[in-house]
A and B are shown apart, each in its own frame.
Chain A
Amino acid sequence: GAVVSQHPSRVICKSGTSVKIECRSLDFQATTMFWYRQFPKKSLMLMATSNEGSKATYEQGVEKDKFLINHASLTLSTLTVTSAHPEDSSFYICSGTETSGSYEQYFGPGTRLTVT
């Protein structure tokens, strides 16, 4: 149980375009989802916390207008990187926590974004 999927797994886009990444909890309801960014050989950096039906809470230094997060249902959160630039290239990982039982987060497989 506690499976999280992400789509797409890899995406290449041109500078200036926007990219949407989907995060789905497949077998549980996730009232809270988290979005992380990971640089090569580095740890996970929390970008924002997304609660179903409300605005996301962004970590310090993360531009909310650049990284748009929507959590419209208990099984889906989306991250849109707007006006992408090469420095936005990274590995983006989402996670979800269940509404009951374990409060631990279950991670998706990640999305590799390359901005050319």
Chain B
Amino acid sequence: GQQLNQSPQSMFIQEGEDVSMNCTSSSIFNTWLWYKQDPGEGPVLLIALYKAGELTSNGRLTAQFGITRKDSFLNISASIPSDVGIYFCAGRLGTNAGKSTFGDGTTLTVKP
């Protein structure tokens, strides 16, 4: 099946710093999604990308759909303590939401 490599696996940063994480795939996707999961909670959709090259922002978050359709990145600017959590990327080829392939997650720790 399709494989997603998400990096880094974990990050420890100082409050106020910018963060960047990315996902790469061995095959193309038509949709890239970024989720955040807080401890003991379900994932929450942050940004959805549907077009190669698309750059989308959601507050301090910015994500891009790579032009090759095999990668995506998520940037968080001016991190704050509540940004702590696990960030998952997910890629999908068709429209069936359940056929999304999830990355292994990036655990973000923000030191005040």
Contacts and interface: CB of A to CB of B under 8 A. Distances in A.
A49 B98 CA distance: 7
Interface residues of A, number: 23
A112 B25 CA distance: 31
Contact of B43 (A6, A41, A107, A112): A107
Nearest to B103: A43
- Which bracket fits the contact residues of B? 10 to 19
Contacts of A43: 88, 102-105
Interface in B84-112: 88, 95, 97-98, 100, 102-105, 107
Interface in A24-79: 32, 34, 41-44, 46, 49
A112 B42 CA distance: 11
Interface of A is mostly: strand
A90 interface: no
B83 to A, nearest CB: 18
A67 B33 CA distance: 28
A104 interface: yes
B74 interface: no
Contact of A42 (B44, B95, B104): B104
A110 B40 contact: yes
Interface string A80-97: 000000000000010101
Interface string B5-36: 00000000000000000000000000001010
List 10 tightest A-B contacts by C-beta distance, closest first: A107-B42, A105-B97, A43-B102, A34-B98, A49-B98, A97-B97, A93-B42, A110-B42, A107-B43, A43-B104
